[in-house]
Structure 1
Amino acid sequence: MSETQPDPSAQSSGGRLVDVVLDEASIARSTPEVEHDRAVAIYDLIEENSFQPVGHPPVNYVLNLAVVEKRLVFRIRTDSDQEVVTHVLSLSPLRRIVKDYDLICESYYEAIRHATPSQIEAIDMGRRGVHNEGSTILMERLEGKIEVDMQTARRLFTLVYALHWKG
């Protein structure tokens, strides 16, 4: 078994995610808009992120996200498939914000079909505000476990929402 070699680009800025896998048992098929948001969030997350499990070397990581028994599970491995750490978080602190985000997303997707551009913009501003609030809560929940920047937290929140969404 070979030892994981740090990625030189990761060393200068900490670790990074090179793959994200959503647990298929945790998600239900959803609307095309939610499926699109999920795919974009994964793509954007892999392209640019700051992801550093506390107490571990700055290398390339693979994240498996799941919801198991109403808990959010972050299973982290290296890109060479070595187990790093698993963090299990209660979804309770995120439950209200995910519900609010779901409601505003429904309004937003409906507005895209029928509303004026100014109405769409107003709803989108609200949606981004709720999204930022959820991202901040997620960052707080990960504190002391995984260091992430706000952009990474935003993309992770989108994926948490996708896992939490049950149609």
Structure 2
Amino acid sequence: MTASAPPDRNRLVAVELDESIGSGLSADADHERRVAIYDLIEDNRFTVIGHESGPYRLSLSTADGRIVFDIRSEREERVSMIGLSLSPFRRIVKDYFMICESYYKAIRTATPSQIETIDMARRGLHNEGSDLLKERLDGKVELDSATSRRLFTLLCVLHWRG
């Protein structure tokens, strides 16, 4: 009989957004938010530097032009609170929103090759934003690329509302 491997504790088990998020979002943005949270909980790598291990609960909000990462243990004890300026993300997020708007219009009327071209640009901006987020969290939180991508999606939702 083989023992099962211990569960990976360096991960997020819950993600919440500021309670005001959700009202006023377009159907497409709300869908992106729900999918990002679901996918993030299902598969992520998240380690707070200097903390033994998770799992962690993450609450995201905006305040004073910053995105705030309130990281807690499973027992709701604060592990870390990180505030990142939204300024470095403004251009990427603005461009990302414009290309997303084009993409959502295109999937209703454009040819498959036009949709693919817009989608490649959309993914490129998303990658740029998630790389910037990972860089800004360096030394504070260790995360993989998939986790960074999903967190960038949530940052976009918060940025749009904030």
Match of 1:4 in 2: none
Q: Does 1:8 align with 2:3?
A: no
Q: Give the whole-Å Cα distance in 2 for the aligned partners of 1:161 and 1:27.
A: 13
Match of 2:97 in 1: 102
Shift of 1:9: 1.6
Q: Does 1:115 align with 2:110?
A: yes
For residues 50-65 of structure 1, the aligned pairs below 5 Å read 50-65=45-60
* Amino acid paired to 2:87: S
Match of 2:141 in 1: 146
Report the identity percentage: 56
Shift of 1:16: 0.2
Query: What is the TM-score of this pair, normalised by structure 2?
Result: 0.93
* Amino acid paired to 2:47: Q
Q: Write the deviation string for residues 72-109 of structure 1: whole angstroms up to 9, x where unpaired.
A: 10000011111111001111111110011011000000
Q: Give the whole-Å Cα distance in 2 for the aligned partners of 1:88 and 1:103.
A: 26
Residues 26 and 67 of structure 1 are in contact (CA less than 8 Å); yes or no, is this contact kept in structure 2? no
Aligned residues: 158
SS of the equivalent of 1:25 reads: coil
For residues 7-86 of structure 1, the aligned pairs below 5 Å read 8-11=6-9, 15-25=10-20, 28-86=23-81
**Structure 1: stretches of 5+ with no match in the other structure:** 1-6
SS of the equivalent of 2:106 reads: helix
**Structure 2: stretches of 5+ with no match in the other structure:** none
